[in-house]
Amino acid sequence: MAAVVIAVHATFAARLDHLFQLGVLAVLVGILAAALVMQFAYGELPCPLCLLERVAMFGVGFAIVQNFRNGFSERMTGLALIFAVLLLVIATRQSMLDIAPRPGHAYIGSAVLGLHMPVWAAVIGLLLILAHALKITLLGASAPGATPMPLLAAAGRVLGLALLGLCAVNFVAVVLQCGLNECHTFSYQLLS
C-alpha cells in the first residue's frame, strides 16, 4: 500500500513538474515574441545588453526544450538557473547604467506599467530563480527520464519549435543590425 502511495505521489509530482516547465517555456516564448513585436512594429532597436538578456532567456528555454526532447534531468534545471542568474546580472548592470540621468544615457524603449525593459528583465530573472527554487522545494528533483503526458509532450514540442523560430528571426535581425561589428541602436547596419 505504502509503495503504491509513493508511486502515485511521484507520478503526480512529475506531472506537476512537466506542467511547471511547460508554463515557464510558454511565458518565455510570449516575452521573446513581444520583444520582436516591439522591435519590428514600434521600431525599438535593442541595445547590446538587451540582446544578451534575450540570449539568457533563450538559454532558460533551451534547458526546458532539452528536457522535453531528450528526457528530464536535473542538470537542465541547473542550466536554466545559470541562464536565469546571467539574466539577472546583465539586467541589474544595465539598470544601474541608466538609473542616474546623465547626458547620453536614458532607459531604452517604452515603459510598461512604469518600468523600462532592463528593469522588467531583472524582475523576470528574479522570478525565474524563485520559481525554480519553489519548484525544487515543493516537488523535489525532476524524475530522470520521466515521460510527459502526450498532451504536454505535444505542447512542449510546439513551444520548442516556436522558440527555435524566434531564435532564427533574432539571429537574422542581429546580423542585419550588427553585421560583424559592434551593435548600435541607430539603425540596421546592413540595410543603411
Tell me: does residue 79 bind another protein (CB under 8 A): yes
Cα–Cα dist 54/36, whole Å: 10
Residue 117, C-alpha cell as written in the block: 525593459
Residues whose CB falls within 8 Å of the CB of residue 84, separated by 6 or more in sequence, listed in order: 56, 60, 125, 128, 129, 132
- Least distance from C-beta 33 to another protein, angstroms? 15
Cα–Cα dist 106/30, whole Å: 26
Residues whose CB falls within 8 Å of the CB of residue 147, separated by 6 or more in sequence, listed in order: 153
116 to 155: interface string for another protein, x by CB under 8 A:
----------------------------------------
Using CB under 8 A as the binding criterion, the count of chain residues that bind another protein stands at 40
Q: Which positions touch another protein (CB under 8 A)? A: 48-49, 51-52, 55-56, 58-59, 62, 65-66, 69-70, 79, 82-83, 86, 89-90, 93, 96-97, 99-100, 102, 105, 160-161, 163-164, 167-168, 170-171, 174-175, 178-180, 183
